[in-house]
Amino acid sequence: MSDRRFRATTAFQRHVANPLTRLMPFQTLLETTGRVSGQPRRTPLGGRRVGDAFWLVSEFGTKSQYVRNIQADPRVRVRIGGRWHHGTAHLLPDDDPVARLRTLPRGNSAAVKALGTQLLTIRVDLTD
């Protein structure tokens, strides 16, 4: 069931949700560098800035393409409130992602919990 959920969710996100939400000017975006193409890859997501860090939880952990891109090159950009920030992403497998979701925006957290099969916390240390 989890593999089917992963395929259905990622297909919907890739072909329907992400193209639409990327167009919204204040949607939070994570920009990674494609590990094969070297091209910028922008993923709409939810999370929260706390001081000089941006926190998020990936619903599919290391199966997510943006997480694989982070593993290859942790230098990222995050668009928060319409403004781009550079940073370095850190995968935190020892962090409790369910507890972390309680500190993040409710709507996105509910979707991540409902659809996720391999939750993984990510912290982006912002440099500007």
**pLDDT for 33-80, tens place per residue?**
999 999 999 998 999 999 999 999 999 999 999 999 999 999 999 999
**pLDDT for 28-40, tens place per residue?**
999 999 999 999 9
Q: Where are the beta strands (DSSP E) in 1-64?
A: 29-33, 40-44, 48-50, 53-58
Q: With pLDDT > 70 as the criterion, what percentage of the chain qualifies?
A: 85
Q: Residue 125 gets which letter from DSSP?
A: E
Residues forming a β-bridge with 115? none
Q: What pLDDT was estimated at residue 128? A: 84
Q: What residues have CB less than 8 Å from 110, skipping those under 6 apart?
A: none
Q: What pLDDT was estimated at residue 10? A: 73
